[in-house]
Amino acid sequence: MNPVKIAVLVSGGGTNLQALIDAQKAGIIKNGEITLVVSSSPTAYALERAKNAGIETAVADKHAYENRSDFEKALIASLEEKGIELIVLAGFMYILSPEFIAHYKERMINVHPSLIPSFCGDGFYGLRVHEAALAYGVKVTGATVHFVNEITDGGKIIMQKAVEIQEGDTPETLQKRVMQEAEWIILPQAVEKVSKDIINGGTI
């Protein structure tokens, strides 16, 4: 059976993309293959990571299109051209339309840096999530990988991992620990699980 063709959509540093690349090299991801990396920004460092790993890249810059519909049509065209079967949102800072999401129903997953349903939804992304967790005073946070549906961070949960908050944490130190202890571990595991389920044609 051929591995599932995966596209990773990114916007920034791409440390989660790197975790996926490393997991593929290590054989943790074996039922899927990262075929394309699409960045919403032409300057994202994630593009360098993809190039260093010999993975094809594309830039989908919404500013280059008149409207959201044209932008998403072009994005779908570049994904379909490569026969993409699974999309991984790894720090992709763009809210996709319900039409796009419906097109990839149960074929698109996202990593979010909190234990959903805490600190998620519109406006909760990147450092803001960790600022909110610290402001609330929770003692445990973590990361979640979930399917993408029309509700921001609202789709079915695939995996979660908890991370303890430490005395003196700042949003930056917490963000780094959540990445190291949770995101970079569960995202590759979830990608492998979903890829395997797609290949087996089983229920997701």
Residue listed under structure tokens 């992709």? 92
User: Among 79, 34, 76, which residue's Cα sits nearest to residue 52?
Assistant: 34
Give the SS3 label for residue 128. helix
Write down the catalytic residue from 63, 112, 130, 146.
112
Q: Which residue is nearest to ligand GAR (CB)?
A: 91
Query: In this complex, which beta carbon is closest to ligand GAR, that of residue 17 or of residue 79?
Result: 17
Query: In this complex, which beta carbon is closest to ligand GAR, that of residue 72 or of residue 183?
Result: 183
The DSSP result for 69-125, as a single string, is HHHHHHHHHHHHHTT--EEEESS--SPPPHHHHHHTTTSEEEEESS-TTSS-STT--
Q: Is the peptide bond before 171 cis (omega within 30 degrees of 0)?
A: no
Name every residue whose Cβ is closer than 8 Å to that of residue 113 and which is 6 or more positions away in sequence.
Answer: 126, 129, 130, 141, 143, 175, 178, 179, 182, 183
Q: What is the DSSP code (8-state) at residue 17?
A: H
Q: How far is the CB of 175 from ligand GAR (least distance, A)?
A: 6
Q: How far is the CB of 169 from ligand GAR (least distance, A)?
A: 15
Is 112 a known active-site residue? Answer: yes
108-112 and 140-147 as β-strands: parallel, antiparallel, unpaired? Answer: antiparallel
Query: In this complex, which beta carbon is closest to ligand GAR, that of residue 71 or of residue 119?
Result: 119
Q: How far is the CB of 101 from ligand GAR (least distance, A)?
A: 15
Site for ligand GAR, rule CB under 6 A: 10, 12-16, 46, 90-91, 111-113, 125-126, 129, 179, 183
Q: How far is the CB of 66 from ligand GAR (least distance, A)?
A: 26
Catalytic residues: 112
